[in-house]
Structure 1
Amino acid sequence: MAISFENALGVHPQTLDFRVQRAKVLASNLANVDTPGYLAKDIRFDAIVSQIEVGKVQKSPTQLVVSDGYAVPYQNSKDGNTVELSVEQAKFTKNNMDFQSSLTFMNMKFKGLAAVIKGR
């Protein structure tokens, strides 16, 4: 009997991929905090939850970066830059914590699979 990793791991691989892609987007925002006219981008997890099926994502997170749009600032700046340093840092930190949580769930799944394979 073969083990289906897609069924065994559920949505966790796609969640990790999303968190990595979001970290790249948020890091780009932080790198451009002083760039005049730069528009902060973001992708939201809830925007893709409905598109995630067990073992399959209908859209890649890199496509979501383009289609999900720009972040709306709390305060507008004179130079047209919409990056707010503290907001972006908070988003980046929360995304990192969410990544760690997803990684922990994935590790638990692997430990469970290893126990089944070993017969424990």
Structure 2
Amino acid sequence: MSIEISKADSLVKAALDYRAARQDMIASNIANADTPFYKPRDISFESALASKKAELYNQDSNQLIMATTDAKHLTSEKQSATTKPTLYFRDGHMARNDGNSVDIDVETTEMSKNSIMFNALIQAHKKDKAIFSSVIEASQKLS
């Protein structure tokens, strides 16, 4: 059994998982740079994290929900939020003669941006833990 310090802690852990999955996907794209007819794939990180946030904070969606005075007035179907990241093919890059559309410059740039964001999340997670540790240590000195 683990102790949940805050919902933000769970959100940071989910963000780290999604960033790690995206790093693996980009590495796969680079590894398949010479594979004929390979299309580069990516993960929709922002939508996966937004759905995880909605799940953690009990938010149905970012839309304003209309109030009803009677259950018979309007029926609304709630959309189920999945916390799995959405995979998609990156479009817009010119395919080579072999049909492969992996652009090494784009992939390495995306990998660099992703690793910077991953490291920033790690630092934020460490700082959050340090704050809670200092509060616990200060409370031990009081008693």
Residue aligning to 2:71: none
Q: Contact 1:26/1:91 (CA < 8 Å) preserved in 2?
A: yes
Aligned to 1:96: 115
Question: What secondary structure does 2:119 align onto?
Answer: helix
Q: CA deviation at 1:59?
A: 2.1
Residue 80 of structure 1 corresponds to: 99
TM-score, length-scaled by structure 1: 0.82
- Who wins on radius of gyration, i.e. which is larger? 2
Deviates more, 1:22-31 or 1:6-15: 6-15
Q: For the structure 1 residues 89 and 25, does the alpha-carbon distance in structure 2 shift closer, same or farther, using more than 3 Å as the test?
A: same
Equivalent position SS for 1:69 = strand
- Contact 2:48–2:82 (CA<8 Å) still a contact in 1? no
- Give 1:14's aligned residue: 14
Tell whether the 8 Å contact from 2:33 to 2:100 is kept in structure 1 after alignment.
yes
Is contact 2:40–2:102 with CA below 8 Å preserved after alignment? yes
Unaligned runs of 5+ in 1: none
User: Alignment length, in residue pairs?
Assistant: 113
Secondary structure of the structure 2 residue equivalent to 1:89: helix
Provide TM-score, normalisation by structure 2: 0.70
Please give the root-mean-square deviation of Cα atoms over the aligned residues, in Å: 2.2
User: What is the deviation of 1:116?
Assistant: 1.4
CA contact (8 A) 2:14 2:49 kept: no
Partner of 1:37: 37
Corresponding residue of 2:23: 23
* 1-structure distance, mates of 2:44, 2:99: 23
Q: Deviations over 1:73-107 (max 9, x none)?
A: 42222211121010000000100000001111100
Cα gap change, 1:40/1:52 in structure 2, threshold over 3 Å: closer, same or farther?
A: same
Aligned 8 A contact 2:15 2:49 in 1: no
Higher helix proportion: 1
